[in-house]
Structure 1
Amino acid sequence: MSSHPAPEELLLDYVAGALPAGPELAVALHVALDPASRETVDRLTALGGALLEREPAGAVDAGLGTVLERTLARLDDVPVEPKPSSRRHRHPGFEWAPAPLVPHLRPGMDWRRVMGKFDEIRLDLPGDFHRVSLLRLESGRGLPEHKHPGYEYTVVLQGGYTDETGSYGVGDFAVGPGSVRHEPIADPGEPCIAMIVVEKPIVLTGPWGRWLNPLVSRGLI
């Protein structure tokens, strides 16, 4: 069970198909790695049709919070059928990739070094404005200190990292509001690999931020 699960409201949006492609993929990876969130999603899916049929017209819009609380309170009464395992071929070097990520990995895809600090693979998700990247940090290495003008969604796929908000391991999910400055540093052991989805370009807050932020905002780094 993840020590940092995705918010229940985000899981509900995921089940309802209300998320853009980037955040949707991040939640799908989290659900694939966290049994508790996967069970919640399965039960929400089972309840979805019945909930919409039973709610009076306008009730969902008028009291979404109440509907969500009512739905989550009923989850334990809904049985979850086990799903057959799904195996997909993983390209060499990407054996760690959860199944929802595999279709987005192309043969020959490789990491590129950014700012001499970390490795990145950018993913192109048609129709989505988010910047979606796989990041790899060697043990003890960190991302530059930064903040976010928009939201950041992070799911750990291998290893772990620690920042000002806590320590995160495989399957953990983080939603970062723009006001929080943080400097993620990879934990000891194997490299930390995470998928990062950002709504808007990050803003570097360290001593080099003034010079590098124009390049960041243009997507060059």
Structure 2
Amino acid sequence: MSRHPAPEELLLDYAAGALPAGPSLAVELHVALDSQSKRTVERLVALGGALIEREPAPIEARLDETALERTLARLEAVPVEPKPSLPRHRHPGFDWAPAPLVPHLRPGMDWRRVMGKFDEIRLDLPGDFHRVSLLRLESGRGLPEHKHSGYEYTVVLQGGYTDETGNYGVGDFAVGPGSVRHEPIADPGEPCIAMIVVEKPIVLTGPWGRWLNPLVSRGLI
């Protein structure tokens, strides 16, 4: 069970198919790695189908401030048949990749060094405006100190990292932290690999931010 599960509201949006491709993939990876979130999503999907069959009125007409709480309270009563997992070929060097990520890894895809600090692979998800990246940090190395002007979704796929908001390991999910400055640093041991989805370019807050932020905002770094 994850120490930092995805928010229930985000799981509900994912189960309803209401998320853009980038955030949806981040939640899908989290669900693949966290058994509790997986059970929650499976029951939300099953319950949603049952509600549609029993109540043909539009769901929007039935929502109020306690709708999510009532829905989640009914989850345990809904039986769920586990779906068989299909084996998928993993490219050399990507043995750590969860199954939902494999279709997005092209042959010959490799890491590129960014700012001399970390490695990145950008993923192209058609129809989505988010910047979707795999980031790799060696033990003890960190991302530059920065803040966000939009949403950021992070799911850890290997190793772990620590920042001002806590410590995150494999399967953990983080949203934000918004305008709060943070500097994620990889934990001791194997490299930390995470998928990060950002709604808007980050804002570097360190001494070089003034010169580098224009490049960041244009997607050049």
- Please tell me the TM-score bracket, short chain as reference: over 0.9
Q: Which runs of 5+ in 2 are unaligned?
A: none
TM norm structure 1: 0.96
Matching residue of 2:26: 26
Query: TM-score when scaled to structure 2?
Result: 0.96
Matched residues, number: 221
Q: Quote the Cα distance in structure 2 between the aligned partners of 1:160 and 1:33.
A: 14
* Deviation of 1:78 (Å): 1.2
For 1:28, the aligned partner's letter is E
The superposition leaves residues 165-186 of structure 1 with CA deviations (integer Å, 9 ceiling, x where unpaired) of 0000000000004212110000
Q: Does 1:12 align with 2:12?
A: yes
Task: Report the secondary structure of 1:144's partner residue.
Answer: coil
Between 6-15 and 64-73, the greater mean CA deviation after superposition = 64-73
Matched residues in 2 for 1:72 and 1:130: separation? Answer: 29
- Equivalence for 1:52: 52
**Paired residues of 1:148 and 1:201 also in contact (CA < 8 A):** yes
SS of residue paired to 2:107: coil
Give the secondary-structure state (helix, strand or coil) at the position aligned to 2:134: strand
Who is 1:166 aligned against? 166
Change (3 A) 1:61 1:152: farther
Name which of structure 1's ranges 73-82 and 40-49 shifts more when overlaid on structure 2: 73-82
Matched, 1:100 2:100: yes
Structure 1 residue 55 displacement after superposition: 4.8
Q: Tell me the alpha carbon deviations over residues 170-204 of structure 1, each in whole angstroms, 9 at most, x when there is no partner.
A: 00000004212110000000000000000000000
Corresponding position of 2:148: 148
**Paired position in structure 1 for 2:80:** 80
| Equivalent residue number for residue 182 of structure 1 | 182
Q: 2 CA distance for matches of 1:58 and 1:19?
A: 19
Q: Distance in 2 between matches of 1:118 and 1:22?
A: 21
Structure-1 separation of matches of 2:64 and 2:125: 29
Question: RMSD of aligned C-alpha atoms?
Answer: 1.4
The percentage of counterpart residues that share the same residue type is 88
1:43 matched to 2:43? The reply is yes
Which residue in the other structure is 1:91 paired with? 91
Q: Give me the whole-angstrom Cα distance separating, in 2, the residues matched to 1:138 and 1:41.
A: 33
Aligned-residue offset at 1:87? 1.0
Between stretches 58-67 and 205-214, larger displacement belongs to 58-67
Q: Report the secondary structure of 2:29's partner residue.
A: helix
Name the structure 1 match of 2:205. 205
